[in-house]
Amino acid sequence: MKTRSVERFRTKDYLKRAEECRNAMNRALENSEWNSCVINAIHCAISAADAFCIFKKGLRNASEKHQDAIALFLSIDLNSEEIKRNVNHLSRLLNIKTDAEYGEKLSSQDDAKNAKKHAERFFVFVKEKIT
């Protein structure tokens, strides 16, 4: 797994990035911009995962493999049901990342609502744990 060391004081910067993506996700959903909503939901979760891993370990994922981001997040506490539950939200978003950003099929309203649901739950979990 390829990681990068990040000073823990940077946690707030990654959380801010996640929050800005969350805000953009919500605006996109309100404006029926399904593709933008999904993409911002994914990036909200990625930045939130980075913030959490930096806060807990001083590391963030530097791999292009989505599974590595999940493994790093899970490694924070392999026995925590709360971590496992939130890995599920992150995993669902990372699983649609490539298609949402580069695929030929556009995102639907249902795709946007599902992505928003997972991003919101994941973001709230991370924010509660690090603020």
Task: Tell me the pLDDT tens digit for each residue of 76-105.
Answer: 998 999 999 999 999 999 999 999 999 999
What is the count of structural domains for the chain?
1
- C-beta of residue 107 within 8 angstroms of C-beta of residue 93: no
What is the structure's pLDDT at 131? 87
Burial 96-113 (b: 16+ CB within 10 A, else e): bbeebeeeeeebeeebbe
**Which amino acid appears at position 47 of this protein?**
S
Task: Tell me the pLDDT tens digit for each residue of 44-71.
Answer: 999 999 999 999 999 999 998 989 999 9
- Report the relative pairing of strands 59-61 and 3-5 from DSSP bridges: antiparallel
- Please check the confidence at residue 106 and state whether its pLDDT lies above 90: yes
Task: Tell me the pLDDT tens digit for each residue of 70-84.
Answer: 999 999 998 999 999
Q: Give the domain extent around 109.
A: 3-130
**Which amino acid appears at position 90 of this protein?**
L
Interatomic CA distance for residues 97 and 100, integer angstroms = 5
- Please check the confidence at residue 116 and state whether its pLDDT lies above 90: yes
- C-beta of residue 62 within 8 angstroms of C-beta of residue 56: no
- CATH number of 63's domain: 1.20.120.330
Can you name the residues that pair with 114 across neighbouring β-strands? none
Task: Tell me the pLDDT tens digit for each residue of 19-45.
Answer: 999 999 999 999 999 999 999 999 999
Confirm whether pTM is higher than 0.85. yes
- Please check the confidence at residue 121 and state whether its pLDDT lies above 90: yes
What is the structure's pLDDT at 66? 86
